[in-house]
Amino acid sequence: MFSRRHPYLFSILVFSALTAVVVITISIVTSMVLKGGGEVEFSGQKVGVVLIEGTIVDSREVIRQLKILRESDAVKAIVVRINSPGGAVGPSQEIYREVMRTRESKAVVASMGSVAASGGYYIAAAADKVLANPGTITGSIGVIMGFTNFRQLMEKIGLTPVIIKSGQYKDMGSPTREMTPEERDLLQGVIDQIHQQFIKAVSSGRNMQKDKVAALADGRIFTGQQALELGLVDSMGNFEDAVQLAGNMGGIKGKIETVSASRSHFSIIDYIIGSAMKAFSSRMNYQSVKLELR
């Protein structure tokens, strides 16, 4: 009876119910698949493997895996496999710190894939040993902050922004007006300080003179072969070479087996909600600053 009187409302309710069922089903299946793969085997002697792939935007999963492998008696050494062009400053620094902490109890070898640049190299520099392929793209020791200005476009289409702010610099980087010299100097100071942090981290992790690192820290990229000649990596080698080296450093005899920490529980519903919140946040705050190690 309801479907006859309100056919459109009935159709909407049916569609919504089916959509909810599909989303929940996908969430459950995805959760089971991700939670079930790559469990740590707490027996024998193993080399733990942590993957860092793509743009670095969050550190929590990598740190969680490093901690699991570090605390396992079965894991004698760890390989951090990096395929990343860099990313956000904070997460890169957090992973660097966790690798340095891990070095205190277990050997850590960084294995560079096709690219391990900027934030990717920041993390690699924390390892005991760094291996790269001759054609690996690495280096790019630098920091960048980018803005896009729409002022002229807005003037052409007749849009006038109205800004109410609590302080002189609250709308710094606004796309609706030109940046002042004072603002540029302030932001340059932030960039310079983070750049010095990057140089110090590489110097400490690689046990290199700070002046030598600074001479290479102008944002340029290097091949793996060039990085070896400059002291930014220790030797040439692929992932299997890194595993063998880590096993030897960990005192493993005979065949070396690898193990990975299980991925944390993943929910597609959480992902959808999180993505929606990020999109909402970006719309509400045009002042978002893109500050990256790349």
Q: Is 170 a catalytic residue?
A: yes
Element (H, E) at 111: strand 107-117
Active-site hit among 165, 170, 200, 290: 170
Options 59, 111, 118, 203, the catalytic residue: 118
For residue 260, give the 3-state DSSP assignment.
coil
Strand partners, 51: 81
Position 42 confidence tier, pLDDT thresholds 50, 70, 90: low
Average pLDDT of 181-193? 93
Give the CATH H-level superfamily of domain 39-277+286-293.
2-enoyl-CoA Hydratase; Chain A, domain 1 (3.90.226.10)
Tens-digit pLDDT profile for residues 241-290: 999 999 999 999 989 999 998 765 555 555 554 454 444 433 333 333 45
Region 13-23: mean pLDDT is: 63
Active site annotation includes 282: no
pTM comes to 0.77
Q: Is the pLDDT of residue 153 over 50?
A: yes
Residues 6+ apart with CB under 8 A from 65: 50, 260, 261
The reported pLDDT for the residue numbered 18 is 67
21-24 CB contacts, 8 Å cutoff, 24+ apart: 23/268, 23/269, 23/272, 24/269
